[in-house]
A and B are shown apart, each in its own frame.
Chain A
Amino acid sequence: MVFVLWAVATILFLMFRLMPSNPLAAYIDPTFTIEQQAILMAKFGLDKPLWEQYFIYLWNLLHGELGDSFFYRQPVGQRVLELLPNTLILTFSSLIVAYMFGIIAGAWLAWKRDTFAERVSIPMVLATRAMPEFWLGMLLLAVFSFSLGWFPAGGTRSPGSEYSGYLALYTSRDFLAHLVLPALTLAIYSQGLPLLLMRSNMLEVMHEDFVTMARIKGLSNWTVVVRHAARNALLPVMTSFAISVGYQIQGNVVVETVFSWPGLGRELVNAVSASDYPLAQGAFLMIAVVVVLMNLLADLLYGLLDPRVSHA
């Protein structure tokens, strides 16, 4: 895992240093003299040879030092950590909704195998997986915000509102109202994976001997389908949750942009557009850390949920 993070950080370093344009182009005023430019280059350590820059970069990373944002003139680490909760709240709220819906609907569709309901539902579910997330966001925005006026159009709070702290903000009605549309967009997009996974696992598990045995034991339908079949079918679905968090964090980029949601993804897009490379680098790394952590969590989760692994 450390290896993967190191590799990602290195690739990132190379990408940012080898790009054709001068990394300070956005920072340097055209009126600066050559000397002033050189001083700036020195300040950011850009006058040193590449390998030396690389070791400084790694050393700084190990100390959580991500440099200063050109645009905000504040430490990137601080900025990124400020935005992380927004992204995580959006990701987790949407995924929890998506998984709850997907698991139940998936089990239900397995139950309804070869019925009209199943034949209609499956293409619809596939269609939600085929949608560009931002397009779905645009559609929801146009309908529920602009046409119906039920929800605000973007951001995390209404203009002019003040909150004493993050907790007060995150628990306010205003924040929740802002959260609904972006979270719904991501939830609609994400529910397909748990749904289809749950469905196919259920179909497989329903053929297992222990499910047949549960029937022979005369246990109630609920016990057979939920306690035995669904509980077993759930294992890989729960594992996929962690992986979904990783994927979703990447997918958030576009949805955060549509809803002007101040998260890591939108920050990355803005930073890249503004050539604010320390900030872009920081946001990218933060996202990569979440992805790698979630891949790791997926493995751990599987061990935790499956007694065959945890009680070996």
Chain B
Amino acid sequence: MSDNILCVKGLKVTYSVGTARIRAVDDATFDIPKGSIVGLVGESGCGKTTVARALTRVMAKAAGFEGGEMLFDGVDLLGLSEADMNKLRWRDIAFIPQSAMNSLDPVYTIEKQLNEVLIQRGGMNRREARARAEELFDMVGIDPRRLGDYPHQFSGGMRQRVAIALALALNPKLIIADEPVTALDVIVQRQILDTLKSLQERLGLSVILVTHDISVVAYVCDRIVVMYAGRVVESGDTETVLTQPFHPYTMGLYNAFPDLQSSEGLLTPIEGHPPDLSDPPDGCRFAPRCPFAQTPCSTQNPTLVEVGSRHVSACLRVDEAQQLREQAAQTQTWMGAI
């Protein structure tokens, strides 16, 4: 037993579409320390949302586990029966979805939807549930008098707060937030992230925050896990990883996003697209887009190596990281890389 609430090791998830097999998550490895917010970051299609859903074991019919371990509090979630897994859901692992609008049932009031988890999953009676619901609304900053409202009566930001209240309902050990602020405008994004962060600190929550927006990670996360094409390419403490990235993809990603607090500076996108996961390239998957790729990169598969304290990176050129960082800071490096 470690200080980690969750250890994911070599996780593989494959979608079968017709005869094609898409390896959405291919050998993903990372840890979530207790009481911290960990940002899981990458472009769309890199497998981060699949990882988030895989942790709940509620996936699309086409998706299947191909291997790996998901040790939650020392127990491998993949080894649990469906009934045992279901006992864990929401009580231990809760979920904040991307779009609270679509994730709340439009025909029930928020109170009814809270009651559902508080009573059916939490074993409370009606009075306890009511008290808890009011407490939760207080915590996320909504007037408890609005408990009887329907989802469509809330604004986008309010709905996201409702989603947080729902996730907190049963004091879960781990909350998975899948792009919780993506659909909101920047000001509301900050408010929601502030709420989330303060609740996390106050309650000592462990949170996985899935996002494509590295500035969100920089704003709230203690640690960061960078994914590319179904694999983890770098992970470590947020500050270390963002100031001293070891993987060219992390360097590129950082250039491509504005700061949440200021929008100064030129943004440099990474050219090209993530690879087709039904037929991924050999070697390092980032090599085709990497400005620093060398011949071995397209044949040799890099593994995660320790590059600092609790900081790992999967790049064949980790030893030259300092030099690469200097080049990566220049815009022209990223132009015409492919």
Contacts and interface: CB of A to CB of B under 8 A. Distances in A.
Contacts of A228: 105
A232 B105 CA distance: 8
Interface stretch (B96-104, B231-239, B266-274, B322-330): B96-104
Interface string B105-118: 11101000000110
Interface in A216-259: 216-220, 223, 227-228, 231-232, 235
A189 to B, nearest CB: 30
Contact of A212 (B58, B88, B106): B58
B153 interface: yes
A235 B108 CA distance: 13
Contacts of B153: 311
Interface in B20-51: none
A213 B103 contact: yes
A220 B87 CA distance: 10
Nearest to B56: A216
B102 A216 contact: no
A204 interface: no
A253 B138 CA distance: 61
A205 to B, nearest CB: 10
Interface string A186-223: 00000000000000000000001110111111111001
A63 interface: no
Nearest to A221: B86
B92 to A, nearest CB: 9
Interface residues of A, number: 23
B286 interface: no
Interface residues of B, number: 26
A144 B100 CA distance: 55
Contacts of A208: 102
A306 interface: yes
Contact of A217 (B87, B90, B106): B90
Interface in B53-81: 56, 58
Contacts of B58: 212, 215-216
Contacts of A307: 106-107, 109, 150, 152
B152 A216 contact: no
A231 B117 CA distance: 18
A224 to B, nearest CB: 10
Contacts of A235: 107
Contacts of B103: 209-210, 212-213
A231 B121 CA distance: 20
Given A217-B121, A232-B107, A209 B99 contact: yes
B247 interface: no
B130 interface: no
Contacts of B97: 209, 213
B168 to A, nearest CB: 13
Interface string A263-304: 000000000000000000000000000000000000000000
A239 to B, nearest CB: 14
Interface in B199-226: none
B120 interface: yes
A191 B332 CA distance: 68
B102 A219 contact: no
A308 interface: yes
Contacts of A312: 152
B102 A217 contact: no
A219 B120 contact: yes
Contact of B105 (A210, A220, A306): A210
Contacts of A218: 86-91, 121
A212 B150 CA distance: 19
Nearest to A215: B58
Contacts of A217: 89-90, 95, 116-117, 121
A214 B116 CA distance: 10
A217 B117 CA distance: 7
Contact of A219 (B56, B109, B116): B116
Contacts of B95: 213, 216-217
Given A209-B99, A223-B120, A311-B152, A216 B106 contact: no
Nearest to A209: B102
A227 B112 CA distance: 11
Interface of A: 208-210, 212-220, 223, 227-228, 231-232, 235, 306-308, 311-312
15 contacts: A209-B97, A209-B103, A213-B97, A215-B58, A217-B121, A218-B88, A218-B90, A218-B121, A219-B116, A219-B120, A223-B120, A232-B105, A306-B107, A307-B107, A312-B152
Interface of B: 56, 58, 86-91, 95, 97, 99, 102-107, 109, 116-117, 120-121, 149-150, 152-153
